[in-house]
A = this chain, B = another copy of it.
Amino acid sequence: MEEREISQAVIGRLPRYHRYLGELMADGVERISSNELSKRMKVTASQIRQDLNNFGGFGQQGYGYNVKYLYNEIGKILGLDQIHNMIIIGTGNLGQALANYAAFGDRGFILKGLFDVNPRLQGVAIRGVQVRLMDELEDFLKKNQIEIAVLTIPKTKALEVANTLVNNGVRAIWNFAHIDLNLPEDVIVENVHLSESLMKLSYNISRYNGEHEKN
Protein backbone atom coordinates (compact mmCIF):
# COMPACT_ATOMS: atom_id res chain seq x y z
CA MET A 1 0.00 0.00 0.00
CA GLU A 2 1.28 3.48 -0.82
CA GLU A 3 1.69 5.51 2.30
CA ARG A 4 1.56 9.24 2.52
CA GLU A 5 2.55 11.05 5.68
CA ILE A 6 -0.28 10.22 8.06
CA SER A 7 -0.77 12.39 11.12
CA GLN A 8 -0.11 10.83 14.52
CA ALA A 9 -3.66 11.84 15.48
CA VAL A 10 -5.06 9.52 12.79
CA ILE A 11 -2.63 6.77 13.81
CA GLY A 12 -3.71 7.24 17.39
CA ARG A 13 -7.30 6.46 16.40
CA LEU A 14 -6.54 3.30 14.38
CA PRO A 15 -6.12 0.96 17.38
CA ARG A 16 -9.59 1.99 18.55
CA TYR A 17 -11.10 1.13 15.15
CA HIS A 18 -9.25 -2.16 15.35
CA ARG A 19 -10.67 -2.87 18.79
CA TYR A 20 -14.27 -2.10 17.76
CA LEU A 21 -13.97 -4.16 14.60
CA GLY A 22 -12.58 -7.05 16.65
CA GLU A 23 -15.60 -6.82 18.95
CA LEU A 24 -17.96 -6.75 15.97
CA MET A 25 -16.27 -9.85 14.56
CA ALA A 26 -16.63 -11.58 17.92
CA ASP A 27 -20.35 -10.70 17.78
CA GLY A 28 -20.61 -12.27 14.33
CA VAL A 29 -21.20 -8.99 12.48
CA GLU A 30 -19.99 -9.25 8.90
CA ARG A 31 -20.50 -5.76 7.59
CA ILE A 32 -21.22 -2.34 8.98
CA SER A 33 -22.02 1.08 7.58
CA SER A 34 -19.92 4.05 8.61
CA ASN A 35 -23.07 5.45 10.24
CA GLU A 36 -23.52 2.39 12.43
CA LEU A 37 -19.83 2.30 13.30
CA SER A 38 -20.05 6.01 14.05
CA LYS A 39 -22.89 5.47 16.53
CA ARG A 40 -21.01 2.71 18.33
CA MET A 41 -17.74 4.58 18.52
CA LYS A 42 -19.25 8.01 19.19
CA VAL A 43 -17.24 9.68 16.48
CA THR A 44 -18.78 11.24 13.37
CA ALA A 45 -19.23 9.09 10.28
CA SER A 46 -17.29 11.66 8.29
CA GLN A 47 -14.37 11.33 10.70
CA ILE A 48 -14.37 7.58 10.12
CA ARG A 49 -14.49 7.99 6.35
CA GLN A 50 -11.74 10.62 6.42
CA ASP A 51 -9.50 8.53 8.66
CA LEU A 52 -9.89 5.41 6.53
CA ASN A 53 -9.49 7.35 3.29
CA ASN A 54 -5.90 8.00 4.37
CA PHE A 55 -5.29 4.36 3.64
CA GLY A 56 -7.35 4.01 0.52
CA GLY A 57 -10.88 3.84 1.89
CA PHE A 58 -11.99 0.19 2.26
CA GLY A 59 -15.70 1.03 2.05
CA GLN A 60 -18.13 0.32 -0.78
CA GLN A 61 -20.97 2.72 -1.54
CA GLY A 62 -24.23 1.24 -0.30
CA TYR A 63 -22.53 -1.77 1.24
CA GLY A 64 -20.48 -0.31 4.06
CA TYR A 65 -17.39 -1.96 5.44
CA ASN A 66 -16.59 -5.65 5.45
CA VAL A 67 -15.76 -6.05 9.13
CA LYS A 68 -13.21 -8.85 8.89
CA TYR A 69 -11.46 -7.35 5.89
CA LEU A 70 -11.23 -3.93 7.52
CA TYR A 71 -10.04 -5.49 10.79
CA ASN A 72 -7.26 -7.31 8.98
CA GLU A 73 -6.28 -4.31 6.86
CA ILE A 74 -6.05 -2.01 9.87
CA GLY A 75 -4.10 -4.75 11.64
CA LYS A 76 -1.62 -4.76 8.74
CA ILE A 77 -1.30 -0.98 8.81
CA LEU A 78 -0.55 -1.23 12.54
CA GLY A 79 2.07 -3.89 11.87
CA LEU A 80 0.11 -6.55 13.76
CA ASP A 81 0.67 -9.08 10.97
CA GLN A 82 4.38 -8.99 11.82
CA ILE A 83 6.26 -10.69 14.63
CA HIS A 84 7.89 -8.25 17.03
CA ASN A 85 10.42 -9.68 19.46
CA MET A 86 10.20 -7.83 22.72
CA ILE A 87 12.01 -7.66 26.05
CA ILE A 88 10.96 -5.97 29.27
CA ILE A 89 13.56 -4.15 31.34
CA GLY A 90 12.35 -3.77 34.89
CA THR A 91 10.35 -6.70 36.25
CA GLY A 92 8.60 -4.93 39.09
CA ASN A 93 4.81 -4.82 39.29
CA LEU A 94 4.39 -2.83 36.11
CA GLY A 95 6.83 -4.98 34.13
CA GLN A 96 5.07 -8.10 35.41
CA ALA A 97 1.67 -6.69 34.51
CA LEU A 98 2.85 -6.13 30.95
CA ALA A 99 4.57 -9.53 30.79
CA ASN A 100 1.35 -11.21 31.89
CA TYR A 101 -0.81 -9.49 29.32
CA ALA A 102 -1.56 -12.40 27.01
CA ALA A 103 -3.18 -10.28 24.31
CA PHE A 104 0.20 -8.86 23.33
CA GLY A 105 1.35 -12.32 22.26
CA ASP A 106 -1.81 -12.80 20.20
CA ARG A 107 -0.96 -9.62 18.32
CA GLY A 108 2.57 -10.66 17.43
CA PHE A 109 4.47 -9.08 20.31
CA ILE A 110 6.56 -11.99 21.51
CA LEU A 111 8.14 -11.74 24.93
CA LYS A 112 11.73 -12.96 24.60
CA GLY A 113 13.33 -11.73 27.78
CA LEU A 114 12.82 -10.13 31.17
CA PHE A 115 15.50 -8.19 33.00
CA ASP A 116 15.86 -6.69 36.44
CA VAL A 117 18.55 -5.47 38.84
CA ASN A 118 17.04 -7.42 41.73
CA PRO A 119 18.92 -10.72 42.30
CA ARG A 120 15.88 -12.12 44.10
CA LEU A 121 13.96 -12.05 40.82
CA GLN A 122 16.70 -13.90 38.91
CA GLY A 123 15.31 -17.10 37.43
CA VAL A 124 11.70 -16.33 38.33
CA ALA A 125 9.60 -17.24 35.30
CA ILE A 126 6.67 -15.26 33.94
CA ARG A 127 4.78 -16.91 31.10
CA GLY A 128 7.74 -19.24 30.66
CA VAL A 129 10.29 -16.44 30.38
CA GLN A 130 12.93 -16.26 33.09
CA VAL A 131 14.10 -13.02 34.62
CA ARG A 132 17.76 -12.28 33.91
CA LEU A 133 20.00 -9.82 35.67
CA MET A 134 20.98 -6.62 33.93
CA ASP A 135 24.61 -7.63 33.43
CA GLU A 136 23.39 -10.28 30.99
CA LEU A 137 21.58 -7.71 28.84
CA GLU A 138 24.26 -6.85 26.31
CA ASP A 139 25.19 -10.44 25.67
CA PHE A 140 21.52 -11.35 25.32
CA LEU A 141 20.98 -8.58 22.77
CA LYS A 142 23.95 -9.75 20.72
CA LYS A 143 22.57 -13.29 20.56
CA ASN A 144 18.90 -12.46 20.00
CA GLN A 145 17.25 -10.15 17.55
CA ILE A 146 15.14 -7.88 19.70
CA GLU A 147 13.09 -5.16 18.07
CA ILE A 148 11.17 -3.64 20.98
CA ALA A 149 12.30 -2.98 24.54
CA VAL A 150 9.84 -2.00 27.23
CA LEU A 151 11.37 0.26 29.86
CA THR A 152 9.71 -0.02 33.25
CA ILE A 153 12.61 1.25 35.35
CA PRO A 154 13.22 4.42 37.35
CA LYS A 155 14.02 7.50 35.32
CA THR A 156 17.52 7.81 36.79
CA LYS A 157 18.63 4.67 34.93
CA ALA A 158 16.46 4.97 31.84
CA LEU A 159 18.72 6.89 29.47
CA GLU A 160 21.78 4.77 30.21
CA VAL A 161 19.85 1.55 29.62
CA ALA A 162 18.20 2.98 26.51
CA ASN A 163 21.62 3.76 25.05
CA THR A 164 22.77 0.20 25.69
CA LEU A 165 19.64 -1.09 23.97
CA VAL A 166 20.05 1.14 20.95
CA ASN A 167 23.76 0.38 20.62
CA ASN A 168 22.85 -3.28 20.47
CA GLY A 169 20.26 -3.09 17.76
CA VAL A 170 16.97 -2.37 19.53
CA ARG A 171 14.94 -0.12 17.25
CA ALA A 172 11.93 0.80 19.32
CA ILE A 173 11.37 1.65 22.97
CA TRP A 174 8.09 1.60 24.82
CA ASN A 175 9.04 3.96 27.60
CA PHE A 176 7.27 4.02 30.95
CA ALA A 177 10.13 5.82 32.71
CA HIS A 178 9.17 9.33 33.64
CA ILE A 179 11.71 11.02 31.40
CA ASP A 180 12.02 12.05 27.77
CA LEU A 181 14.73 9.91 26.20
CA ASN A 182 16.99 11.80 23.85
CA LEU A 183 17.90 9.09 21.39
CA PRO A 184 19.00 9.00 17.73
CA GLU A 185 16.19 10.03 15.40
CA ASP A 186 15.81 6.59 13.84
CA VAL A 187 14.88 5.07 17.21
CA ILE A 188 11.14 4.88 17.69
CA VAL A 189 10.00 5.88 21.16
CA GLU A 190 6.46 5.63 22.46
CA ASN A 191 6.04 7.19 25.88
CA VAL A 192 3.51 6.22 28.52
CA HIS A 193 3.79 8.82 31.25
CA LEU A 194 1.21 7.58 33.72
CA SER A 195 1.44 10.48 36.14
CA GLU A 196 0.80 12.92 33.30
CA SER A 197 -2.38 11.07 32.49
CA LEU A 198 -3.47 11.32 36.13
CA MET A 199 -2.74 15.06 36.08
CA LYS A 200 -5.00 15.49 33.06
CA LEU A 201 -7.73 13.77 35.04
CA SER A 202 -7.16 16.05 37.98
CA TYR A 203 -7.17 19.12 35.72
CA ASN A 204 -10.56 18.10 34.39
CA ILE A 205 -11.88 17.66 37.95
CA SER A 206 -10.67 21.15 38.88
CA ARG A 207 -12.10 22.66 35.74
CA TYR A 208 -15.44 21.01 36.40
CA ASN A 209 -15.44 22.29 39.98
CA GLY A 210 -14.56 25.78 38.75
CA GLU A 211 -17.45 25.79 36.29
CA HIS A 212 -19.89 24.66 38.93
CA GLU A 213 -18.79 27.35 41.36
CA LYS A 214 -19.52 29.96 38.71
CA ASN A 215 -23.08 28.68 38.19
Give residues in A with beta carbon < 8 Å to B: 3, 6, 8, 11-12, 14-16, 18-19, 41-42, 77-80, 82, 84, 92-94, 96-98, 100-101, 103-104, 107-109, 147-148, 171-172, 174, 178, 180, 186, 188, 190, 192-208, 210
Partner of A94 from the list B12, B97, B109, B201 (CB cut-off 8 Å) is: B97
Query: 11 pairs across A/B with beta carbons < 8 Å?
Result: A3-B210, A19-B196, A79-B205, A79-B206, A82-B206, A103-B178, A148-B201, A174-B197, A174-B201, A188-B201, A192-B194
What does DSSP make chain A's interface, helix, strand, loop or mixed? helix
With a cutoff of 8 Å between Cβ atoms, the chain B residues found around residue A180 in the complex are 16, 41-42
A193 to B103, CA, bound (A): 13
Q: Given A94-B93, A178-B19, A199-B78: A205 and B107 within 8 A (CB)? A: no
- Inter-chain CA distance A147–B208, complex, in Å, is 13
Residues of chain B within 8 A of A80, CB atoms compared: 199, 202
Instruction: Determine which of B14, B18, B188, B205 lies in contact with A188 in the assembled complex, contact meaning CB atoms within 8 Å.
Output: B205
Number of copies: 2
Closest-by-CB residue of B relative to A18 is: B199
For A8, list chain B residues within 8 Å (CB): 200
Looking across the interface, which residue of chain B has its beta carbon closest to that of A189? B201
- Residues of chain B with a CB closer than 8 A to A15's CB: 193, 195-196, 199-200
In the bound complex, CA of A103 to CA of B194 (Å):
11
Identify which of A96, A109, A203, A206 gathers the most chain B CB atoms within 10 Å of its CB. Answer: A203
> Are A3 and B207 in contact (CB-based, < 8 A)?
yes
The answer for the CA separation of A11 and B203 in the assembled complex, in Å, is 8
Residues of B within 8 A of A92 (CB): 97
